């Protein structure tokens, strides 16, 4: 099954798209995606293959989940999402969660984190009420992708109208130096606001003056214009 998956991924490779990805995902020396390699495969195509090969075993998946090739890694993490969604028992979901955490270093770009973390890490922690100390540990990590995993995991809680974890981790990340973290925190605060604008505004009124500008802009993006401009002018 693994060889078939690789063949199908390689068959979809597009050199021109791969070149564009190198620029889009900032792969030059010193950039956040330094050294990443791309085949140039679209997201929808990867999703189709992930769904098709969701029954691949962990032993085979282990061989590609931390591959140097971006699409191998992304498709592998998408397979975990489909595995999780198909799983019926907590034991199986725990195995998928543990595999994700064991191999989370392979989720080392924002697209991989964003489309998989909420559906596996966040969903497992929400669904079974397990110890959330892991995401707080990640929030304080020196590794940017662990910090992004931390805030994105809270999306599963937001979708179920639980906002405490998002707000607490947002506090931890208020002074983060990375733009990708500013965007992620602002995005999650915006998602909170979609469900309860009062909760989001309570947080913003406390911190908007010290928040990075990008974080604030993302957080207030859906506010009505007058309110949005008031925050920006202050």
Token look-up 């998956």 returns 5
Please tell me the predicted confidence (pLDDT) of residue 234: 66
DSSP alpha helix (H) spans, the chain = 2-11, 15-24, 43-52, 58-61, 70-86, 90-102, 110-117, 123-128, 133-139, 144-153, 155-158, 164-172, 179-195, 197-207, 213-219, 225-233
pLDDT at 186 (0 to 100): 98
Integer CA distances (angstroms), 114 to 7, 95, 170, 223, in order:
26, 21, 16, 23
Span 133-137, mean pLDDT? Answer: 97
Tens digit of each residue's pLDDT (9 = 90 or more) over 65-103: 999 999 999 999 999 999 999 999 999 999 999 999 999
Topology given in CATH for the domain delimited by 131-234: 1.25.10
Domain with CATH 1.25.10.90 in the chain: 131-234
Q: Is the pTM here over 0.85, yes or no?
A: yes
Gap between the Cα atoms of 116 and 137, Å rounded = 19
| DSSP state at residue 37 | B
Percent of the chain with pLDDT over 70: 100
Calpha distance 220→197 (Å, rounded): 10
Give pLDDT tens digits for 99-126.
Answer: 999 999 999 999 999 999 999 999 999 9
Q: What Cα–Cα distance (Å) separates residue 25 from each residue in 21, 38, 184, 199?
A: 6, 10, 16, 33
pLDDT at 1: 87
Q: List the structure tokens of 209.
A: 């003056």
pLDDT at 159 over 90: yes
Residue 233 has pLDDT above 90, yes or no: no
Predicted pLDDT at 206: 95
Q: Which tens digit of pLDDT belongs to each residue from 15-39? A: 999 999 999 899 999 899 999 999 9
Contact between 150 and 120 (Cβ < 8 Å): no
What per-residue confidence (pLDDT) applies to 12?
96
């Amino acid at each position: 099954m693994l060889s078939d998956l690789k063949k199908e991924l390689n068959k979809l490779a597009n050199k021109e798209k791969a070149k564009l990805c190198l620029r889009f995902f900032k792969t030059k020396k010193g950039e956040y995606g330094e050294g990443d390699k791309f085949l140039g495969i679209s997201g929808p195509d990867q999703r189709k293959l992930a769904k098709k090969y969701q029954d691949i075993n962990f032993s085979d998946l282990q061989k590609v989940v931390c591959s140097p090739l971006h699409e191998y890694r992304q498709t592998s993490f998408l397979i975990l999402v489909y595995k999780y969604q198909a799983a019926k028992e907590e034991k199986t979901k725990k195995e998928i969660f543990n595999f994700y955490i064991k191999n989370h270093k392979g989720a080392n770009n924002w697209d991989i984190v964003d489309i998989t973390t909420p559906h596996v890490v966040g969903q497992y922690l929400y669904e079974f009420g397990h110890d959330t100390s892991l995401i707080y540990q990640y929030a304080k990590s020196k590794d940017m992708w662990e910090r992004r995993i931390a805030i994105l995991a809270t999306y599963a809680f937001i979708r179920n109208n639980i906002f405490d974890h998002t707000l607490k981790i947002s506090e931890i990340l208020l002074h983060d130096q990375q733009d990708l973290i500013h965007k992620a925190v602002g995005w999650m605060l915006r998602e909170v606001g979609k469900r309860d604008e009062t909760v989001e505004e309570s947080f913003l009124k406390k911190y908007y003056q010290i928040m990075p500008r990008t974080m604030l802009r993302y957080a207030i993006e859906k506010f009505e214009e007058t309110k949005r401009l008031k925050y920006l002018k202050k």
